[in-house]
Amino acid sequence: MNVRRLALEAISKIMDNKAFANKVVSNYLNKFEMSKEDKALFTNIVYGTIQYYLTLKFYIEPFLSKKKTKNWVQHLIYMSIYQLVYLDIPEYAAVNEAVEIANLRDRSIGKFVNAVLRNFLRNPKRDFENLDDILRLSIKYSHPSWLVAFFLKDYEYDVVTKILEENIRVKNDGYRVNTLLIKKEEILSLFNEEKIKYFESKLVENGISFKDPMINSKFFKKGYITVQDFSSQLVSEVLNPKPGSVVIDLCAAPGGKTAHMAALMNNEGIIHSCDISTKKSNIMNTNFKRLGVKIAKIQLIDARIISEYVKEESVDYILADVPCSGLGVLSHKVDLKYHINLKSISEIIKLQEEILESSSKLLKVGGYYLYSTCTLNKDENEKQINKFLLKNKNFSKEFEKTILPYEYNCDGFYICKLRRIN
């Protein structure tokens, strides 16, 4: 099976059909027989081309005719440029493979692709340092210009530069030690015995990362560790529900925060893990069994109308990790920056407001409400909370923190803990 041809198909699905990159890559890896080396090359080409798409477009623009080039041809050229610029692949291999793929459809397109790539190799790469500030950041870090400007409305130029730079950096996944099944010092001892290299988080108590993926390890399969970003772990730590409490976890799938809260509560009390997706609820159920979570009750319910089903002032803690624009997780969701837009963000803000208003009524006086997002957009974060507090004088702000992606080797996140008062 031709790895580059599969990569072209995958890139076309992601960019033209707005398919999720991680799902497309996973489907292809599962569907087609590939060697370990080919899997690595396929994954690298797909993610890398998507990650640097606007940069690659900038490099190749002078060598494309002014006529409209078919999308698949553009994708083929961009993925070839990615290999030539960012990967240690011989020029002849990248060019010849691209020409062969093009020839399968039309030999004239093969000649065109060959000419474009040869012209690129004969000339120095275009310089983007003399562009204006927004366009330079857009091209250098491959983020749409509107998105760069959108970040700049909330953050200083130097901070935005660091955010964008972090977004294109490959990160190791964060894991959490599952203290329901094993103590942290016990598992670290096991890692040391087996000479497994790990790094402890400076942000959260049980956060850990590894040099190599651990998702297929015996430790993961036994439930001793689970994949969870450090900033996501901080959410449950800040809420810190006590054993014996009644907790609602809104928008809970895939259940990482529920499982973490169950560990903090020593499996004592009850957590209603709510989501509107049956498929995601099944995933939660599987995860809870692996992690030894016994106090979670999965509820198929829309967070916007939860007040129609739950009695007011009956819950000790509410965790609302609400739907958001996801602008803090662009290093993982490499396609998101090309597909999101201002209209979708405004719709998300309205949804967040509806969830806040509906669910906050369920909290007991003296209870705590944790609002979190994985975005850096202040309209969804600080401003959303301030708007809520203006209308709801019976809530006070107890804790507020924005985590920027470059600070702790984790995702960007916003966390705010509220308390219901008389």
Catalytic residue among 251, 374, 410, 416: 374
CA distance 12 to 45: 13
The helix (H) or strand (E) run that includes residue 97 is helix 91-103
CA distance 28 to 24: 6
Which structure tokens are listed for 44?
């690298």
Q: DSSP state, 128? A: -
Helices and strands, counts by H and E, the chain: 18, 11
Is 374 an active-site residue?
yes
Q: 3-class SS at 154?
A: coil
Peptide bond into 254 cis (omega under 30): yes
Q: Where are the strands (E) in 243-286, listed by range?
A: 245-250, 269-275
Task: Find how far residue 6's CA is from the centre of its chain.
Answer: 24
**Whole-number Cα distances in Å, 333 to 32, 265, 336, 356, 377:** 23, 32, 6, 26, 16
Angle between helix 71-86 and 36-51 (nearest 10):
110
**Whole-number Cα distances in Å, 86 to 30, 48, 274:** 26, 8, 43
Which structure tokens are listed for 418?
């509220």
**Of 369, 115, 407, whose CA–CA distance to 247 is shortest?**
369
Contacts of 75 by beta carbon, 8 Å cutoff, 6+ apart: 8, 11, 12, 15, 49
Burial class (CB in 10 A: 0-12, 13-18, 19+), 292: middle
Q: Which residues pair with 385 in a beta bridge?
A: none
Residue 268: how many other CB atoms lie within 10 Å: 12
Burial class (CB in 10 A: 0-12, 13-18, 19+), 270: middle
Residues with a catalytic annotation lie at 374
